[in-house]
Amino acid sequence: MTESDLLVRVRKLLDKAERTVNTHEADAFSRKAAELIAEHRIDPERLAAVEVSDDLGVTEIELGRGAYVRARLSLLQAVADAHDVRVVFQSRRHGTVAMAAGFRSDLDVVEVMYASLHQQAASQMATERRQTGAATQQFRRSFLFGFAERIGEVLGESQQRAEQLAADQPGQGAGRDARALATRDREQQIDDYAATAFGRVRTARVPSAAQTGGWGAGAEAAGGADVGRDRLPGRKAIARPANG
């Protein structure tokens, strides 16, 4: 990352922290920005002068190694799908890395939101114990798969509600058609960029089946997860679930 890229990223994180109405998310964005400012000794006056633009790019997200990799990928995919971001993964010597392609503003949100949700899930998984180490690992892995799937459903339901509310507004006919056309054009840009950035992609084997009890516990935990936020102007809103 160049110095200019770093400044832009920190500025975006600070802007998102100010815009969101979700306290948990604002804290996550602020913490990440503070870490980068401290690590790179960034002058706050330089941040104020940064002009933020939205372009296409790729972000790499470490998924680690071991039994939980595919479940982490499932959670990342659920968040990415809700934010118009395309994801593939690659096994490397040090572990598995996910590569996410999309507009920079969406990539920043996906990266921070995934980290936040993974932390929420991991803190609850850590309290789960079974009779043996192997049984505990299987339960926790299944928990994370269930958590990820329910998060995807929650985000999808929230999108549908937001889109329906927009459609119900009086005099929105022409505007709705224009937004739909702009959305299709934007999605095509992302697909074209991802195809070029990723190159040849192979379909991965299906992960082994999840254990029912762990999956259900994870899905239930996801119902109370902190996922609320306001989206960028003109984009689809993702609201806090009604039971959250």
Q: What is the pLDDT of residues 3-51, one digit of tens each?
A: 777 887 888 888 777 766 666 667 777 888 888 888 888 877 777 777 6
Residue 49 DSSP class? T
**The pLDDT value given to residue 5:** 78
Q: Indicate if 7 and 116 belong to the same structural domain.
A: no
Domain carrying residue 48: 1-53
Mean pLDDT across 156-183: 66
Q: Indicate if 183 and 116 belong to the same structural domain.
A: yes
Question: Structurally, how many domains does the chain consist of?
Answer: 2
State which amino acid sits at residue 27.
D
- How many CB atoms within 10 Å of residue 73? 21
Q: Indicate if 215 and 102 belong to the same structural domain.
A: yes
Q: Indicate if 19 and 60 belong to the same structural domain.
A: no
Contact 93, 166 (CB under 8 A): no
Give the tens place of pLDDT for each residue, 59-96.
Answer: 999 999 999 999 999 999 999 998 899 999 999 999 99
Structure pTM?
A: 0.72
Q: Indicate if 48 and 64 belong to the same structural domain.
A: no
State which amino acid sits at residue 165.
L
**The pLDDT value given to residue 55:** 83
- First-to-last C-alpha distance (Å) of the chain: 37
- Measuring CA to CA, which residue among 224, 22, 17 is closest to residue 123? 224
Q: Indicate if 40 and 62 belong to the same structural domain.
A: no
The burial class, CB within 10 Å (0-12 / 13-18 / 19+), for 6 is middle
Cα–Cα distance measured from residue 215 to residue 192, given in angstroms and rounded to the nearest whole number: 35
Q: Indicate if 213 and 120 belong to the same structural domain.
A: yes
Q: Indicate if 13 and 125 belong to the same structural domain.
A: no
What is the residue whose two structure tokens read 């913490």? 31
Lowest-confidence range among 33-37, 126-130, 218-222? Answer: 33-37
Q: Indicate if 31 and 147 belong to the same structural domain.
A: no
